[in-house]
Amino acid sequence: MTLSTQFITMISMIGMGSLFGAMFDTYQRFLNRPNRNHWIVFFNDLLFWITQALIIFYILFLVNNGELRFYIFIALLCGFAAYQSLFKGIYLKLLEFIINLVISIYKFLRNTFRLLIYKPIVGLIQLVISLLILLGRGLLSLVKFVYKLVLWVLKALWLVISKILLIVWKLLPKSLKKSVEKLYNKTAGKFKVIQNYMLKWLDRWKKRKE
C-alpha cells in the first residue's frame, strides 16, 4: 500500500467515523427507544450496525481494496471523537431544524390539500346528494299529487257515470229491466257457485297439507 493510499484511507476512515456518529445520533432520534418493544429495538440495532459495517467496508474497498490495518480503527475512533466534540451540537440542531421543516411542509401541504381539494370535493358531493334528495322528495310529492288528482277525477267520473246510469235505468221499460235483472241474478248465481267451489277446494287442500 503506497503512502498516498494510506493517507486517503486515513482521511476516508476519519470521515466515516464522523459520519457514523451523525448516523448514530440520527438513528437514536428516530428510534424513540424508550417507547419501543425490546425485540424491535434489538432488531433495529442489529440492522443498524450491520448497515454501518457494510458501508465502512465498502468505502474501505474503494480506497484500498478492502485491506484492514490497525490505524484504520484508530482513524474511525478519531473521526467519531471529532464529531462528538466539534460537530454533534451543530448537527443535532440542524437535524431538528430539518425535521421541523419537513413536518411544517407536510402540514402545509396537508392543509392545502384539505382546503383546496378535499373539502371542495366533499362539499360538491354533499351538494349533489342534497340536490338528489330534494329532487326525489319533489318527485315523490308530485307523484302523490298526481295520484290524488287522478283518484279524485275517477271518483268524479264514476259519480257522474253512476248518476247517468241511474237515470237511464229509470227511463228503461219495465220489461227490459226485468230481463236485465234476470241476467244479473243468473250471472251472480254462477259467480256464487264458482266461489263456493273454490272455497271447498281450498279447504280440502289445507286438510291434505295438515
- Mean per-residue pLDDT over the chain, rounded: 84
State what percent of residues in the chain have pLDDT above 70. Answer: 88
Encoded amino acid at 105, one letter: I
Centre a 10 Å sphere on the Cβ of residue 60 and count the other Cβ atoms it contains: 20
- Domain spans in the chain, listed from the N-terminal domain onward: 3-126
Contacts 24+ apart (CB under 8 A), 162-170: none
Mean pLDDT across 88-112: 94
Residue 90's pLDDT band, with cuts at 50, 70 and 90, is very high
What is the C-alpha separation between 64 and 23, in angstroms, rounded?
23
* pLDDT at site 180: 65
Mean pLDDT across 125-146: 93
Phi-psi region of 82 (alpha: psi -120 to 50; beta: other; left: phi over 0): alpha
* pLDDT at site 165: 73
Encode pLDDT of 46-74 as tens digits.
Answer: 998 999 999 988 888 888 777 777 888 89
* pLDDT at site 172: 65
* pLDDT at site 81: 93
Is the pLDDT confidence value at 141 over 80? yes
DSSP-assigned letters across all residues of 147-158: HHHHHHHHHHHH
* pLDDT at site 1: 59
- Burial letters 97-116, b for 16+ CB under 10 A, else e: eeeeeeeeeeeeeeeeeeee
What is the C-alpha separation between 93 and 99, in angstroms, rounded?
10
Encode pLDDT of 94-104 as tens digits.
Answer: 999 999 999 99
Is the pLDDT confidence value at 4 over 90? no
